[in-house]
Amino acid sequence: MSGLLEIRENIRNFYSKYEVYLIPLFKLLLALTTFLFINASLGYNSKINNPMIVLVVALMCSFLPLNIMVLLGAIFIILHLYALTMECAIVASVLFLLMFLMYFRFSPKDTLIVVLLPIAFVLKIPYAVVLAAGLIGTPVSIISVGCGVIVYYFVSFVRSNAALITTLDSDSAVAKLRYVIDGMLGNEEMLVTIAAFAVTVIIVYLIRRLSVDYAWTISIIVGTVTCVVALLLGDLAFDINVSIVTAIIGAVVSFAIAKVLEFFAFNVDYTRTEYVQFEDDEYYYYVKAIPKNSVTKAKKTVKKITSVI
C-alpha cells in the first residue's frame, strides 16, 4: 500500500509542478476526441470534417474555458445536421438552447460530465461518468448527466435514421420536424437511461456523505448495482434491448475506474479514526476525525567518500 501511496504522491507532485502545461494538453486531447467523435458519428458537413479544422479548433479550446468546448461541440453538431437537413438543425438548435439554459443555470461546473458521457457511451462505460458525478458532484449534476445522455441519443438517432429523414417529402418540412421530434420524445431507451442515471447519482451522493466507514466504497458498489438493475428493469418494462453482458462488463470496468478515482480523491485510514467531543456556550460538538492516507517520500542522502593517498 505504501508503494501505491508513493506513486500517488509522485503523480500529484508532477501535476503540481507542470500544471501550467498539463491542463492545456488535457483540454487539447479532450477537444480532439470530442470533435473527432462528432465528425465520425455524423460527418455530413465536409468543410468541418477536415482534420486540420478540427486541430485548429481543438488548439483554441486548449486555452479557453471548458464551457467553450461544449458550445463549439454543439455548433459542430448543428453544422453537420444543417448539411443533412435544415429541419434537423432546427430541432438540434432548440434542443441545445433548452439544455444550455438549464446547464448554465444549475450546473455550469460539470463540463466534463457533458463532454465525457457521450464518449463513455461509445466505449460502453457510461456508468463510470455517472459514478464520478455522484462521488465528486452534487445532486444538480443530474442535469449535466441528462444533457450528456440526450446528446448521445440524439446523435445516434439522427445517424441511424439519416437515410429515412432525407427521403421524406422535401416539400413537407413539418413532416421532417415531426419525425425528428417524435423520434426523440418517444425514445424510451433514452428516458429509462436518464432516470436510471439520475437515481444512481443521488444514491451515490447520499451514501458517500454518510458518516460510516468505507462510505465511498459502499456508494460505488451500491451505485453500480443500482444503475445496472434500473436499466434491466427498464428493459423488462419497455423492451429497450439492453445487453446484459455489455451492461455487466461495463459496470465492472466502471467500478474499477471509480475505485481509482476514490484512491486519488478520498483515500483515508479508517483504522486510525478518532472521536472528539467539545463544547461552547451554546452547543456540544461530536466530531469524527479520519486521517488521510499519506506517505512521506524518503530522502536520499549521498555520501561522498574520498580516498586519501
- SS3 track for 291-306: CECCCCCCCCCCCCCC
Q: Is the pLDDT of residue 283 over 60?
A: yes
38-81 residue pLDDT tens: 999 898 998 898 889 999 999 999 999 989 999 999 999 999 99
Runs of H (alpha helix) within the chain: 2-17, 19-41, 51-61, 66-84, 86-106, 111-122, 126-136, 141-167, 173-185, 188-208, 215-238, 244-265
Measured distance CA(219)–CA(259) in Å, rounded: 11
Question: pLDDT by residue (tens digit) across 174-219?
Answer: 777 888 888 888 889 999 999 999 999 999 999 999 888 889 999 9
Of 39, 155, 143, 35, the residue nearest 91 (C-alpha): 155
Examine the pLDDT at 308 and tell me if it is beyond 60: no
Q: Can you tell me the mean pLDDT for 265-274?
A: 80
Percent of the chain beyond pLDDT 70? 93
What is the arithmetic mean of pLDDT over 160-178? 76
pLDDT, residue 169, reads 58
pLDDT level of residue 117 (50, 70, 90 thresholds): very high
Whether the predicted pLDDT of 92 surpasses 80: yes
Which pLDDT score, from 0 to 100, does residue 171 have?
57
